[in-house]
Structure 1
């Protein structure tokens, strides 16, 4: 999750995720036009 967070931040994307036991759910949003 930390590696993805750094990559996402560098691309101006903002992950919203949850990590529960053996399941990770990720939704990405961006402020980029057409993103």
Structure 2
């Protein structure tokens, strides 16, 4: 049970920055389209 919780927190620590990067890339892409 302890290993499962640590694995979950570990996966969250890896996935959260990736999701944030994807959102930033989408926002930057839409802004670039508006500027162009």
TM-score scaled by length of structure 1? 0.34
Bigger relative contact order, structure 1 or 2 (CA pairs below 8 A, ≥6 apart): 1
More helix by share: 2
TM-score scaled by length of structure 2? 0.33
More strand by share: 1
